[in-house]
Structure 1
Amino acid sequence: MHRTITLSEYVKKRNGVALGDSGSMTNMLQRSLGAGSFYLFWQFWNPVWGYYLSRNVMKPMSRYFPVSLAIILTFAVSGALHDLAITLVKWKLTFLFTPWFVMLSLVVIATKKFGISYHRNPWFVRALINISIIVICLFLTRQYT
């Protein structure tokens, strides 16, 4: 039987510093933006949100669906929750994050499947690649929704 990792342990593992540490945001940005693959970007991005998505969406979904579909559904749930939050704040129906996050999930799956890695590049180049993927997916989402 596996021991369930706590939120504090998860954040420390992803950020290298304790939950609430003053360097937490800096470490998250450096590790995620400088990740050597788009798949790894998401291992470091927003570890608190990632912990709850992993525990409450990804793991249960992966029991019933192939991992690739569980990844897509997890990103879709995250996007839907972001859309809901914006809808509630603006009191206007928002449907941007769900399709955008689904597109991001497809890139995650494709880059992992094809072993696309840029880890040998300098940090700045890796960050530029990761940011570019996110921005291109946002642009395409806005064009087609």
Structure 2
Amino acid sequence: MKLYEYVKKRNGVPIGHPSSLRNNLQRSLGAKNFSAFWNFRNPIFGYYLGRKVFKPLKEILPSDFALILTFVFCGMVHDLVTTLIRGRLSFFFSVWFMLMGIAVIITQFSKYDLSEKKWTYNAVINLLIIGICVLITILLNNYLKFY
């Protein structure tokens, strides 16, 4: 699948369409579970992470571990930008994204499905999971000082 096809599938509109951001936020935040949230969130970055990181890792590692490493890689990209801007090493996003990858696996294992719930409820749950992961990251940082 080509990038433009992937983005249209995830957002419902082509790359650059005026409704792209709105659709992205509505679909990701209102997703039926945390795994589906990541299927919709940032489709361009997700396309390349899926093809260039997750798929090759999945060929040599169990898919759950490949998924966590893909999230860590994504966090490392964010940390690289943060490190360059701040002028000092940062691992905040790597840890945060690792925790969100673990949350994806846990929520997949639990098989919860919010498809019958209202969009607002789903958005609160998805944002709550993200918030819990960032809170744990902050607490770990205060304890371990990793950035």
What range describes the TM-score normalised by the shorter chain of this pair?
over 0.9
Unpaired runs of at least 5, structure 1:
none
1:113 shift after superposition:
1.2
Give runs of aligned pairs for residues 119-138 of structure 1, distance below 5 A: 119-138=115-134
Give runs of aligned pairs for residues 75-94 of structure 1, distance below 5 A: 75-94=71-90
1:94 shift after superposition:
1.3
TM-score, with structure 2 as normaliser: 0.94
Unpaired runs of at least 5, structure 2:
142-147
Give runs of aligned pairs for residues 1-145 of structure 1, distance below 5 A: 5-145=1-141
Deviations along 1:81-123, one digit per CA (max 9) or x if unpaired, are: 1000111112121110001100001110011012022221100
Return the alpha-carbon distance in structure 2 between the equivalents of residues 84 and 59 of structure 1: 23
Aligned-pair identity (%): 45
Return the alpha-carbon distance in structure 2 between the equivalents of residues 13 and 48 of structure 1: 11
Supply the AA of the counterpart residue of 1:95. Answer: F
User: Which stretch of the first structure deviates more once superposed, 116-125 or 27-36?
Assistant: 116-125
